[in-house]
């Protein structure tokens, strides 16, 4: 493990680390906040998955999670959103594809399959690595994220209801199979056959029988992507005849930025802590 | 006034604006957070001056001031640290001089004097502009800052004890006339004659009779610049036989970064609110 930076914050430690990833076939960077309570005992871990164009750094810099995480004793892990490096394929002029746009799936199509194995990375390789290097209680895990990362969090929770005790999302892409900004990427990563897309689509997963007890979703009504990319009402419709509980909060005047996320970060951390701590 | 961005945050508004500055002879950018209470009535204003290499954006992104400012009803204004633009002189390989290093003084030496009038900008031009465009109660002003901006806040408060009701600083340069990272800049901006430096040096100002009732200073003990650039004990010594009160808090393990600043931001906002609200 390579320590890129470490600093004391809110009595705990905010660090940035990198390690060689077998799944992604490149070095991967991630951020970890360790609360002061972890000196005494292993603490619950909360995975934050970021949105398109982001790295681990956006939420670390702008998410304002440390004060409350320190109070509640939560370890926060923030992975990158894609493989990185000169050897990794990309579409330089397309922010919805390639670097910064891994969509938390395992690509099956060339040239992407060689590196874009973010599902395996985030659900297997990184958790094993974090469990080895930090004082995490892996029996108490929650997952959340923003936009593309909200999609990641919800699909991963739906496929691992026994592993995660809590899931929430800020402005998630709940139906990437139809959303304007993900259809192109899904086709390139997974091929034209839409059957393979369903395992990475929260609405499709629910239709196909996947279950998770409850979700918290916050969504800004001034979000420019609300209608064509996010549309949380599609998830509301998908769970209608299930026992999945959804707390969907629509907020006047809030956009898609970290101004929105940081405003409701405390609520999300408290939501997870109620189910984890 | 040019609106560069505006977003809802914590029930208020975080905006970034620019305007032509007469003092600096260029366009200047600044950030303003307006709390929700300002819809009803003019609110107190707190000026945050940033450190070397920063723009208005560092504290806006990483300072974590919005939640508490919204709670307390404080308007937070964050100016840039220097004039900007292709016409403005700079020393490209020297981060302690030129752009990003205005030191909140009025330069008298060429080629700097034409643009580097940050003292006039921050104490006259920007306040007049903010008073005109935002719902600020200019009878209730506080000032704080970080590092070079802590120097700015303390010297400006010492010279305007009637205007400011409160002053605090994170890891301030209290004695730039002797600190390793400011002596070179002071000489270039103000000339070799050290008499002219004293008006921009908190320790010298106190020695020369300037007074401000009380200061709050937080300082990390793991700050790499503590010994040679900051040395808050010099200010402690300078005020020894005066009636100036100083709350100086030294914090184990904290460095010079926004991890440190954001950790103690709430305390500073509360300090100011007690004296302003």
Residues of A in contact with B263 (CB under 8 A): 8-11, 66-67
Q: How far is CA A128 from CA A16, A138, A144, in A?
A: 17, 10, 18
* B259 in reach of chain A (CB within 8 A): yes
How do residues A10-68 score in pLDDT, each as one tens digit? 999 999 999 999 999 999 999 999 999 999 999 999 999 999 999 999 999 999 999 99
Is A100 in contact with A81 (CB distance < 8 Å)? Answer: yes
Q: Given pLDDT bands bounded at 50, 70 and 90, which one contains residue A180?
A: confident
* Alpha-carbon span B35 to B76, nearest angstrom: 9
Question: Could you tell me which chain B residue has the CA closest to the CA of A9?
Answer: B259
pLDDT of residue B194: 96
Nearest to B89, CA basis, from B73, B112, B109: B112
For residue A181, pLDDT beyond 90: no
Whether residue B9 and residue A260 make contact (CB cut-off 8 A), yes or no, is yes
* Element of type H or E holding A270: helix A258-276
pLDDT of residue A80: 98
Q: How far is A239 from chain B (nearest CA, A)?
A: 30
Angle at B31 between CA B26 and CA B34, to 5 degrees: 140
pLDDT of residue B207: 98
Q: Given pLDDT bands bounded at 50, 70 and 90, which one contains residue A228?
A: confident
Question: What is the mean pLDDT of each successive set of 10 residues along chain B, which is 277 residues long?
Answer: 97 98 98 97 98 98 98 98 97 95 98 98 98 98 98 98 98 96 96 97 98 98 94 98 98 98 98 97
Whether residue A7 and residue B257 make contact (CB cut-off 8 A), yes or no, is yes
Q: How far is A174 from chain B (nearest CA, A)?
A: 24
Whether residue B8 and residue A222 make contact (CB cut-off 8 A), yes or no, is yes
DSSP B114: T
* A66 in reach of chain B (CB within 8 A): yes
**How many whole angstroms from its chain centre is CA A115?**
18
Residue B104 in tokens: 């909140």
Q: Which of B54, B58, B64 to mutate to test the interface with A (most CBs of A within 10 A)?
A: B64
pLDDT of residue A186: 98
Express as a percent the part of chain A with pLDDT over 70.
100
* A6 in reach of chain B (CB within 8 A): no
Segment 35-64 of chain A within 8 Å of chain B by CB: 61-62, 64
Residue B31 in tokens: 């950030």
DSSP assignment string, B133-185: HS-EEEEEEEEEEETHHHHHHHHHHHH-TTTEEEEEEES--S-TTT-TTTHHH
For residue A149, pLDDT beyond 90: yes
Question: Could you tell me which chain B residue has the CA closest to the CA of A60?
Answer: B62
pLDDT of residue B180: 87
* A270 in reach of chain B (CB within 8 A): no
CB atoms within 10 A of CB A252: 8
Relative to beta strand B75-79, strand A75-79 is: unpaired
The number of CA neighbours under 13 Å toward the Cβ of B182 is 29
Whether residue B62 and residue A61 make contact (CB cut-off 8 A), yes or no, is yes
Q: How far is CA A66 from CA A45, A47, B8, B48, B126, in A?
A: 13, 14, 21, 22, 33
Whether residue A66 and residue B262 make contact (CB cut-off 8 A), yes or no, is yes
* B65 in reach of chain A (CB within 8 A): no
Express as a percent the part of chain A with pLDDT over 90.
98
pLDDT of residue B72: 98
Whether residue B259 and residue A14 make contact (CB cut-off 8 A), yes or no, is yes
């Amino acid at each position: 493990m390579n320590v890129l930076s470490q600093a004391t914050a809110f009595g705990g430690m905010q660090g940035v680390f990198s390690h060689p990833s077998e799944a992604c076939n490149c070095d991967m960077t991630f951020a970890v906040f360790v609360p002061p309570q972890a000196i005494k005992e292993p603490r619950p871990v909360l995975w934050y998955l970021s949105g398109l164009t982001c790295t681990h750094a956006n939420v670390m810099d702008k998410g304002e999670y440390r004060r409350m995480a320190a109070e509640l004793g939560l370890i926060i892990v923030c992975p990158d959103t894609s493989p990185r490096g000169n050897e990794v394929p990309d579409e330089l002029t397309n922010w919805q594809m390639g670097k910064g746009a891994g969509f938390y799936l395992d690509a099956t199509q060339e040239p992407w399959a060689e590196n874009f194995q973010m599902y395996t990375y985030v659900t297997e390789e990184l958790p094993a690595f974090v469990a080895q290097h930090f004082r995490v209680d892996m029996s108490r895990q929650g997952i959340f994220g923003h936009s593309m990362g909200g999609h990641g969090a919800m699909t991963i929770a739906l496929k691992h209801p026994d592993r995660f005790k809590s899931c929430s999302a800020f402005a998630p892409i709940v139906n990437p199979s139809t959303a304007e900004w993900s259809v192109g990427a899904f086709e390139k990563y997974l091929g034209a056959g839409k059957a393979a897309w369903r395992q990475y689509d929260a609405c499709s997963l629910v239709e196909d029988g996947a279950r998770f007890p409850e979700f918290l979703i916050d969504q800004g009504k001034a979000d420019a992507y609300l209608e064509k990319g996010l549309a949380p009402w599609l998830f509301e419709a998908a769970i209608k005849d299930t026992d999945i509980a959804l707390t969907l909060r629509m907020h006047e005047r809030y956009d898609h930025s970290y101004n929105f996320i940081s405003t409701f970060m405390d609520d999300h951390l408290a939501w997870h802590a109620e189910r984890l701590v």
